[in-house]
Chain A
């Protein structure tokens, strides 16, 4: 166990970089950050860039997080009130509402995409992590509600 921990500690920066790379691979592939950095200085730069990207994605997400979180919580309540058989219907409800949010954001925030693109974040780079977090949050809240019931 101690050995596993020491391996993890020695490769901690590498693991963080790999995780962040998975989260945000297209920009890394396009910059000097790919292949993955080998020195401590590179790690530091890499982390600063990725933390900046995470902040930008989060900032973009916050602008409509209230609506999407509200929908997730409504689904949670509906699953609690109804039976687990409602899960499929709720899942599609979540998919459709998320598609609606995507459509509305694309209209109202289309100009802001240029800011994020100037930071190296394309529309795809913004939406893939957001969709992933949304569905992860949806599934985990649904499972939590199921166990609660």
Chain B
């Protein structure tokens, strides 16, 4: 079933500092939406507002035309990957994959080198390996929309390639919103890209647009 996520009228400020104003973002099942912007531009804040962990002074989030309140958000609708390691350190890969309802065989097929870590506590793994498990858990779990905050950071290039392939596969069943500074990867896989500048969202299509809008140097 196809779903449509719409986010608009988000007004967020910390004290006198206006972070987001008149934001508009949408995503559908089968789409990957990229989110770029300078540090502190409000990308993570926007994802947190959508996920319900941050309350904006004004916001409108709808799924399939139905207003979504903070209480309505559950794992069947949205899952969120924060930009930091978030899995309890004592959990093993087996427990994590089971909790996220993920087929272990599918994960091992995508990342064969993780077979040996099946019952190892996650704190025994390297930072990059932990990150792979976190990204895959959120990405491949059964849900309508995935919000991924900086999924390509800390990950080595060969795994980025695999992750991009998994994203292309998973987007058939869900909508993905990805925020990252590695814009080249976003340009490769995203169906549409939004730049956050001065608290507002601007649609971009290529590197030239990012240069024109001051995100990249010419």
- Determine if B71 and A26 form an interchain contact, defined as CB atoms under 8 angstroms apart: yes
Q: Could you write out 7 A-B pairs with CB less than 8 Å apart? A: A31-B76, A60-B88, A111-B85, A115-B87, A115-B88, A117-B51, A118-B79
Residues of B within 8 A of A120 (CB): 74-75
What is the bound-complex CA distance between A37 and B51, given in angstroms? Answer: 28
- Determine if A117 and B76 form an interchain contact, defined as CB atoms under 8 angstroms apart: no
Task: Tell me how far the C-beta of B5 lies from the nearest C-beta in chain A, rounded to whole angstroms.
Answer: 17
Most chain A CB within a 10 A radius of its CB, from B53, B71, B88, B141? B88
Q: Does A114 contact B (CB under 8 A)?
A: yes
- Determine if A114 and B99 form an interchain contact, defined as CB atoms under 8 angstroms apart: no
What is the bound-complex CA distance between A111 and B84, given in angstroms? Answer: 8
Of residues 180 through 202 on chain B, the ones whose CB sits less than 8 Å from some CB of chain A are none
- Determine if A115 and B71 form an interchain contact, defined as CB atoms under 8 angstroms apart: no
Given A114-B82, A118-B138: A59 in contact with B88 (beta carbons within 8 A):
yes
Q: Which residue of B lies closest to A62 (CB)?
A: B90
Chain A to chain B: the 6 pairs with minimum beta-carbon distance, closest first: A114-B86, A30-B74, A111-B86, A120-B75, A114-B82, A112-B88
Interface residues on B, range: 20 to 34
- Determine if A27 and B74 form an interchain contact, defined as CB atoms under 8 angstroms apart: yes
What is the bound-complex CA distance between A116 and B73, given in angstroms? Answer: 13
Residues of A in contact (CB 8 Å), total 18
- Determine if A117 and B80 form an interchain contact, defined as CB atoms under 8 angstroms apart: yes
- Determine if A117 and B84 form an interchain contact, defined as CB atoms under 8 angstroms apart: no
- Contact pattern, A 55-81, Cβ under 8 Å of B = 1, otherwise 0: 010011001000000000000000000
Q: Which residue of B lies closest to A32 (CB)?
A: B76
Q: Does A86 contact B (CB under 8 A)?
A: no
Of residues 17 through 54 on chain B, the ones whose CB sits less than 8 Å from some CB of chain A are 51, 53
Task: Tell me how far the C-beta of A80 lies from the nearest C-beta in chain B, rounded to whole angstroms.
Answer: 35
Residues of A within 8 A of B91 (CB): 59
Q: Which residue of B lies closest to A109 (CB)?
A: B88
Q: Does A133 contact B (CB under 8 A)?
A: no
- Determine if A30 and B71 form an interchain contact, defined as CB atoms under 8 angstroms apart: yes
What is the bound-complex CA distance between A36 and B79, given in angstroms? Answer: 24
Q: Which residue of B lies closest to A118 (CB)?
A: B79
- Determine if B86 and A115 form an interchain contact, defined as CB atoms under 8 angstroms apart: yes
What is the bound-complex CA distance between A24 and B12, given in angstroms? Answer: 32
What is the bound-complex CA distance between A30 and B91, given in angstroms? Answer: 26
Residues of A within 8 A of B114 (CB): none
What is the bound-complex CA distance between A30 and B80, given in angstroms? Answer: 17
